[in-house]
Structure 1
Amino acid sequence: MAKVQLENVRKVYENGQVAVQGATFEVADGELMVLVGPSGCGKSTLLRMIAGLEDITSGTLRIGDKVVNDVAPKDRDIAMVFQSYALYPHMTVRENLAFGLKLRGHPQAVIDERVRNAAQLLGLSDMLDKLPKAMSGGQRQRVALGRAMVRESAVFLLDEPLSNLDAKLRHSVRTEIAQLHRKLGTTMVYVTHDQVEAMTLGQRIVVLNAGVIQQIDTPMALYERPANLFVAGFLGSPAMNVLRGTLQGDGLRMADGRQIPLSAPQALQGRDVLVGIRPEHLQPAAAGDTVAFEGKVEGIEPVGNEIFVNLTLGEQLLVMRVPPQALPPVGEGLKVALHGAHLHFFDPQTELRL
């Protein structure tokens, strides 16, 4: 195992496009770090630079205590799992798992032991003589994970390994990856665009947008205290509601003149702000709720254990997440209470947290 350190790592292509802008962070020895962001944000480019598949324009990359900027991928002591599985279709599971070890000249006894251990850990022992075409997508991804495991590398790099699986398989393989990390204690860097994967797998998360790191923290710290509006909106489903207006007295005055009662820090009084509210922190008002406003129900989406209520407040669209309950029909008004302790305030120009 080994830590991974990036110091102001940049990637600029020949056409001048900046793919990664000054990435600086450390993946601790044995940590599972997730890189997350929308398509084109630079997360896969960053992973490929760690792997040695992309040249680093500037900055320093260390694996362990060794600078590896100019070290070939095969000499970096890393193992990579791709979204496409990249299995050899004409080889059995056993042969796929053993192939890389044979290329490196390991003794047959070592190869057999590592293959046996990986197959047992991943539930592949009964499939060692199967070809990939005879397996499900989830089973193939487990073979891809096993091929990385048998190398016993210092660092595992996983590039959107679940993106080709359906929702049910994604959940089961995600659980297997988390269990695998706990058992092996290997340093892992995991790339995904799926915020659910990021939140459930990552011990810490690096949030990227347009090649720039937005925030690095634990999943719940990111959710509960986002550094800016992008992080606030990207993590969480449904996304955070955002109201724009001026803080005056005991509420937020919106552009259409509506006054939303809410409590805000005294230092923000008189300021134009963006107010973020998670859907679960909007609830139907009870009889004693004084911090409430009147919205109009535009849609009700029951999803089993909860309901998403789509509301309008003038021209403003809001989403509320509530437990299953009786609600006014579409088109009628609903008094909504704000949970003031969970409000987020952002600067409307910089979009940074206030």
Structure 2
Amino acid sequence: MATVELDQLRKVYANGQVAVHGASFDIRDGELMVLVGPSGCGKSTLLRMIAGLEEISDGTLKIGGRAVNDVAPKDRDIAMVFQSYALYPHMSVAENLGFALKLQGLDRAQREARVREAAKMLELETLLERKPAQLSGGQRQRVALGRALVRQPQVFLLDEPLSNLDAKLRGSMRVEIARLHRKLGTTMIYVTHDQVEAMTLGQRIVVLKDGQVQQIDTPMALYEKPANLFVAGFLGSPKMNLLRGELGGEEGSLVLRIADGVGLSLQPDPATTQALRSYRGKALVVGLRPEDMQLAPNGTGKLPAIVEAVEPVGNEAFLNLGCGGCELVVRVPPRGLPEAGERVGLDYAPERMHFFDPDSEARIGP
């Protein structure tokens, strides 16, 4: 096990493209850290820099307290699991698991002991004689994990390892990886574009956009207090509702004017009220999660809206609504649902609001 320290890590390609802009953060010994963001945000590039598969343009990378910028990948004591399983088709499961150990020069008894241990941990014991073509996608992914596991590295690097699996298998493999991490206590760095994977697996999450770190925190801290509009919209399914308008009203009775005759009553805490003073008469963005808005009884409510689509998904339903030019999604129980085209009233929890500057996109308030 080891810490991983990134100090102003940059990646600039020969054509001048900057893939990673000065990333600085520490991954604690035994932590499962997730790097998340949309395609092209630099998360896989960052992981490959840690692995030694991409040259570091600037900055310092330390693993276990040792600077490894110029250390070859094989000497960094890391193991990587890729999106593609990259199994040798002509080898059995046991041979795939033990191949890296054979290259390391371990004797046969040591190799077999480690392979048996990994196979037991990943429930592959009955599959050791099979070839990859005889395995399901989930089984192949477990073999790829086991191949990294047998090396007993200081750090595991996982680059979108579940993206080739169907939804059901992804769910079960998430549980498998979380269980494996709890059992091993090894430092893991996990890359994904899937915010559900990030929220369910990560002890902490690094959110990236355009090669820049947007926020680093625990999953629920990111969800409850996103640092900017990008984080607010990226994490959460459905994403946060963002209402844009002009801030009006008097202190103690602030209102976001969304459209003619449509206003959102605000009740920010004292610190945020102080921060909002300079926005009076100016544009403002207010965020509300879908679960923090509700249908008001009998069509009354603080906010009028029109139902555009209804999406029942079993134990809950999502209402897609139009409100003063804004698009909203509200999470509701699956019974007594309105119909498309129906006018409804919405209530909301003022204490659950988030406030953002429309220009800088930064969070306003604590």
TM-score higher than 0.5: yes
Match of 2:273 in 1: 266
- Alignment counterpart, residue 312 of structure 2, candidates 302, 327, 339: 302
Deviation at 1:259?
1.7
In structure 2, the CA distance between the partners of 1:202 and 1:118, relative to structure 1 (3 Å rule), is: same
Stretches (4+) displaced over 4 A: 286-290
Matches within 5 A, 1:172-321: 172-249=172-249, 250=253, 251-256=255-260, 258-264=262-268, 265-267=272-274, 268-269=276-277, 270=280, 271-286=282-297, 292-321=302-331
Provide the C-alpha distance between the structure 2 equivalents of 1:169 and 1:327, rounded to a whole number of angstroms: 32
**What amino acid maps onto 1:324 in structure 2?**
P
- After TM superposition, the structure 1 = structure 2 runs for residues 144-183 of structure 1, keeping only pairs within 5 Å, are 144-183=144-183
Secondary structure of 1:38 counterpart: coil
Deviation at 1:120, TM superposition (A): 0.3
Partner in structure 2 of residue 59 of structure 1 = 59
> Is there any run of 5+ residues in structure 2 with no aligned partner, and where?
none
- Residue range with higher mean Cα deviation, 199-208 or 242-251: 242-251
Indicate the percent of aligned positions where both proteins have the same amino acid.
66
Shift of 1:104: 0.5
Superposed, which structure 2 residues align to 1:23-102 within 5 Å?
A: 23-102=23-102
SS in 2 for 1:133: helix
What is residue 342 of structure 1 aligned with on the other side?
352
SS in 1 for 2:205: strand
Closer, same or farther: CA 344–263 of 1 in aligned 2, 3 Å: same
- Post-superposition offset of 1:20: 0.1
Corresponding residue SS for 2:44: helix
Shift of residue 273, structure 1, vs aligned partner: 1.0
AA of the residue aligned to 1:280: E
* 2:240–2:287 Cα contact (<8 Å) kept: yes
Distance, in Å, in 1 between the alignment partners of 2:273 and 2:22 is: 36
The TM-score normalised by the length of structure 2 is 0.94
SS at match of 2:99: helix
Q: Could you tell me how far apart the structure 2 residues matched to 1:53 and 1:228 are?
A: 32
Q: CA deviation at 1:68?
A: 0.2
SS at match of 1:311: strand
User: Offset of 1:317 from its aligned partner?
Assistant: 1.0
Residue 327 (structure 1) shift: 2.5
Residue identity matched to 1:278: R
For the residue of structure 1 that corresponds to 2:322, the secondary structure is strand
The structure 1 residue matched to 2:334, chosen from 305, 324, 333, is: 324
Give the conservation status (yes or no) of the 8 Å contact 1:306–1:322: yes
Q: Is the Cα–Cα contact under 8 Å of residues 195 and 236 in structure 1 kept in the other structure?
A: yes
How far apart, in 1, do the equivalents of 2:352 and 2:21 lie? Answer: 32
1:12 CA displacement: 0.2
CA displacement 1:24-68 (0-9 Å, x = unmatched): 001100000000000000000000000000000000000001100
**Residue pair 2:299, 2:345 contacting (<8 A) in 1 also:** no
Following the alignment from structure 1 to structure 2, what is the Cα–Cα distance between the partners of residues 347 and 92? 57
Q: CA deviation at 1:255?
A: 4.7
Query: Quick one: distance in 1 between partners of 2:11 and 2:38?
Result: 18
292-301 vs 16-25, which moves further: 292-301
Deviates more, 1:324-333 or 1:155-164: 324-333
Q: Deviations over 1:88-122 (max 9, x none)?
A: 00000000000000000012111111000000000
Give 3-state SS (helix, strand or coil) of 2:113's partner.
helix
Counterpart amino acid of residue 11 in structure 1: K
Contact 1:261/1:293 (8 A) holds in 2: no
Structure 2 residue matching 1:274: 3-state secondary structure: strand
Q: Which residue type is aligned with residue 252 of structure 1?
A: L
How much has 1:23 moved relative to structure 2? 0.3
Deviation at 1:330, TM superposition (A): 1.3
Report the CA distance between 1:289 and its aligned residue.
8.3
Distance 1:231 1:261 in 2: 24
Paired residues in the alignment total: 353
Q: Is the 8 A contact 1:36 1:195 kept in 2?
A: yes
Determine if contact 1:22/1:212 at 8 Å carries over to the other structure: yes
Letter in 2 for 1:212: Q
Alpha-carbon offset, residue 209 of structure 1? 0.2
Residue ranges of structure 1 left out of the alignment (5+ in a row): none
